[in-house]
Structure 1
């Protein structure tokens, strides 16, 4: 009976589930042990936390057409729809955003599913003796919970730096315990949600001892995550503090010699945290961008030509991220960043959730905002040295320096979910180009080119199914 209650309660909590209803929160993968008779040994807890990591790989996060490796770029100005594709995610692309569109609402259910797995582990901590192992398990679980809530809040609520009223606006439910009877509400403000995320991450940073793999959280990864969260919050002193700590222990941004190998999963140089994939799981993380048809790349979306031109030929990222090739006789600039796996199906690449290069760019932007242009330029040059084969030390200052930092951010984190949120947190409008989808910019341009900075659509809609099941979850303004 208790297992049934757990399942129903989760449906009540978030109103949507993207995992198997039979197995969700009831068993560890590959066995049938329920949580009533599990979590009695260190091995059980290790499996439980790894089960929470696994939840990032489900549909709604990094699988299939709802894959979040593409949706934020579709919503911004990095991509243009390819008429040769299936028109997947078309509603998101034309900003016809509504509460029933799965690609923009899927992280709501998927994120709470991740958090629930972490909370189950936390609810059983009393079964472990005090000590470093228990501290590390608690740290990892709280770190996972924080990341899941962060991914929800940046999509479905305002970002603190987005506008003057953002911090006091409606946040999300922050679920800190596994309670079968809880009904979520959105009583917290955005600032209060961010404070809870930061509290979980700072606890994790203090207690974590995990160092084994980039497939699990480490101290450097949590420090880097804190730099990201504080950047969204606009607390630039703490961006610098935590970002520098992360870079002090994991300072490589991925050398120019290793950079291409990061994307075929033969190197983790500069990767702080990634979602591991395997041949057995074969989560097709790259299929949201394109598929192989008769030996050719058939892309759903291709690189906008105006953006493509910003990649210099001497930039290692150009060939690592993009391949120009023909499909049905026409040339397209295809995104290959997530379809280069070695030793497993090419689309089953690991998801690079956080890299040191982003942390460096976070710190550089924060230093600029705090008036330390020398420090910001030094970090920017450190990154550019590892990206351009003809690197020459830059000397920008003032607005030109900020523009250079933001350009490198766009180039570095292209097709990694960043662009939509960068524009959102900076309070900028989306302005797409007048170019068409073909490799030389020819063809029909995007039919919808703009999204004003003041549009309610920057806050994605809560899934209607969640509200139908739990009326205590308020819908975002603007959605009927």
Structure 2
């Protein structure tokens, strides 16, 4: 498992896309040979796909800056504990710049490594023409290429629904090769590719996903995309793109069930996968057995104490009703230096573990239902939106009383349930961003469990502020003279 695929790493390092040293070396266990020689059997293509999933897993679960943590840290879901290590404070304090360590460079480098791995699979897929596995492997490669580009576009660019002119602004570089195409731009070691518009990015992302949905199998096992996963991802991408009828259509094609209130706690300790549509798993050969340390962003355990880095925002915690099953899934009482905190529970892992070995829940059926409810509301289909929202609420509240909201109250209810349901899974920053809303933190509530303690130093990020787009990393600016002229405004 320690072999490295040097040729690919050297090729793409010369494109200027990678700030870290591992290039595409994480496509394990490749051998040191040319892709066209290695990628000749379905089994070797599956090994290559393992590498792509691993790259996605690396930037979602990174203990310092995982994509399931930092978007909540930037938003209004957390407050920084003063007895922690003050990690990620540049992000929490909203003062990140192009040279800031952590998330800014990690997301860029690891996402493009996933893209490059997917492109190699697509480029060589004709090597297994006529095999039963061909379409399914191609479907996974197309879908993961789209997935990584979608993350790049929403992190470093605007979101189409964010502002009236968002589609004309700059997004990501869409690195794309076609089936059997050995002369694509990714083979040009001297290329200095330019950022494309957000409209172009979303057209390419949706095109890849729609094609993948026609090719991919219904079941590819734990930790891999399948048809449900692609349709669920389409429901998210369509929502970001403001294509609301397509959100509904995609959501209706997802056949997974919601996790019940009784099942939900077991989902987050990996006892069951109820309601999980896309996950990045540590329990398959796609990952090194190093655990999923995303919870370290929130807390660690030391000598019986919980050393919280970030805790639940006091107002947010208290907005959750006692009849809501999610309250106990989200919070536990963490104690450190004589203080109690509303510590974050979702990533603690199994009993006895410390921020344990848990899979990354990338997309759950609950989000699919919420995507559908929001799209129905945006189309004026309030009865349908309420029915979708109540479908979720029925398995979250006990006793359950069906909601009857209309108009703005219904819209607020959809967004509230979305915030609670998806808290600490990397959504809040993007939900505020795509809706053109600002970040507003309580300027007086502190970090301790009763709301006392130290309040946040940075309390607002107005809608439209340049910091809703991350800067292009310094390493990429230095390596690519074209992109050096395309840094995001404000940086």
TM-score relative to the length of structure 1: 0.94
> Is the partner of 2:152 in helix, strand or coil?
helix
Partner of residue 234, structure 1: 242
| 2:304 is the alignment partner of 1:270 | no
Partner of residue 158, structure 2: 158
Q: Aligned partners of 2:406, 2:175: CA distance in 1, in Å?
A: 44
Partner of residue 204, structure 2: 196
Moved more, 175-184 or 313-322: 175-184
What does the per-residue CA deviation read over 1:88-143, in whole Å, with 9 as the maximum and x for residues that have no partner? Answer: 11111111120011333121111101111111111211210235410110000010
Partner of residue 100, structure 1: 99
Partner of residue 233, structure 2: 225
What does the per-residue CA deviation read over 1:134-184, in whole Å, with 9 as the maximum and x for residues that have no partner? Answer: 011000001001100001100100100000110111121000134252635
> Is the partner of 2:141 in helix, strand or coil?
helix
> Is the partner of 1:146 in helix, strand or coil?
helix
What does the per-residue CA deviation read over 1:349-392, in whole Å, with 9 as the maximum and x for residues that have no partner? Answer: 10000111001000000001111111111111110111112211
Distance 1:141 1:338, change over 3 A: same
Distance 1:41 1:30, change over 3 A: closer
Residue pairs, 1:436-475, within 5 angstroms: 436-473=446-483, 474-475=485-486
Which of 6, 29, 32 is the aligned partner of 2:8?
6
RMSD over aligned Cα atoms? 2.0
Q: Aligned partners of 1:222, 1:343: CA distance in 2, in Å?
A: 35
Distance 1:18 1:337, change over 3 A: farther
Q: Which runs of 5+ in 1 are unaligned?
A: none
Q: Aligned partners of 1:133, 1:36: CA distance in 2, in Å?
A: 17
Distance 1:5 1:33, change over 3 A: closer
> Is the partner of 2:14 in helix, strand or coil?
helix
| 2:428 is the alignment partner of 1:419 | yes
Distance 1:478 1:313, change over 3 A: same
Q: Aligned partners of 2:379, 2:453: CA distance in 1, in Å?
A: 44
Conserved? CA contact 2:300–2:354, under 8 Å: no
Q: Aligned partners of 1:102, 1:430: CA distance in 2, in Å?
A: 23
Partner of residue 110, structure 1: 110
Q: Which runs of 5+ in 2 are unaligned?
A: 178-185
| 2:175 is the alignment partner of 1:175 | yes
Partner of residue 219, structure 2: 211
| 2:122 is the alignment partner of 1:122 | yes
Distance 1:340 1:358, change over 3 A: same
Partner of residue 488, structure 2: 477
* Structure 1 residue 342, shift from structure 2 partner: 6.2
Which of 261, 268, 273 is the aligned partner of 2:266?
261
Aligned residues: 473
Partner of residue 183, structure 2: none
| 2:87 is the alignment partner of 1:88 | yes
> Is the partner of 2:103 in helix, strand or coil?
helix
What does the per-residue CA deviation read over 1:273-315, in whole Å, with 9 as the maximum and x for residues that have no partner? Answer: 1010148332322111111111121111111101111111221
